[in-house]
Amino acid sequence: MQTEVYQIGDWLVHHEGLQLLLPEGFFESKSSQPSINKITVEPKSPCAGPPDMKEIEKRLADDKTFVNAEMLLKEDHKLKLRQVEDEKAYDSARTGIVNLASNRGFCDLSTVKSELDYLQELRTVAMLQRIPEVVDEEFRQGDIGMPKAMFTIGLSHIRQIVQGLVEGKIRVAMPPVLLAAAKKNGDNDPVSDTELNLCKENFGVTVILPRTLADNQKVLTLMGLDKIVTRARSQSPPLVLSAIH
């Protein structure tokens, strides 16, 4: 999977002039959060030629050293990395994952799972909303030649993102337990209906799935993407869902 993410990024560099990478889970600050900048990589010479995919696969398969597709793309190309994660939203979601995995005294795991899903949705919205600001800032400063970027994120977020792009907004509804607490505290409209900055500022968006995922019907169905993928493949822009070999 990581190999295919690398191939997508490499293709975008050579065919679309990609210069900016926005990885999920990446933090620029001196916090305790994970940061690709903490890993030292030596950029390759521009005359080094095309990447050796067998070597890329070997490095990504090495479980002794942490490395991912974004790190190798940064190493092989002159790419800038920027943070779009909201630290508070990230920490809340991470705590929810730990609680679910550890099952610390929770009787109703379905409630814990629904709360985690809600926190992940809020985290996704926070990232999406920051993308136009970051891209525009890098372009205005002259750090990138074109106002475009590659945003890498896990498959579990894609359904929410695609639906948001289609509708121009993302609706995030609280789970019943949190909804009851919000109403008790006087919040009569706790459902968040957020207009996407990407749509408001007319950003063109292409959602690219690795071929391994795009061709796996079971995974697409599990993630609720089967109908979305089928419909998107028959549509024309502004929303394009594709897979690169």
**pLDDT, tens digit, for every residue of 23-61?**
999 998 655 455 554 444 444 544 456 678 889 888 888
Question: Residue 103's CB: how many other CB atoms inside 10 A?
Answer: 10
pLDDT for 63 equals: 81
Residue 107 scores a pLDDT above 60: no
Q: Can you tell me whether residue 76 is helix, strand or coil? A: helix
Contact 118, 95 (CB under 8 A): no
Please, are residues 223 and 155 in contact by the beta-carbon 8 Å criterion? yes
Q: In this predicted structure, what is the pLDDT of residue 103?
A: 67
* Six-digit token string for 7: 């191939």
> What was the pLDDT predicted at 38?
44
- pLDDT, residue 227, reads 85
Task: Please state the domain count of the chain.
Answer: 1
pLDDT-based confidence at 172, cuts 50/70/90?
A: confident
The phi and psi torsions of 104 (rounded to 5 degrees) equal -75, 85
Residue 168 region, left (φ>0) first, then alpha (ψ -120 to 50), else beta?
Answer: left
Token pair, residue 162, equals 């695609």
Average pLDDT, the chain: 82
Identify the domain containing residue 191 by its residue range.
2-244
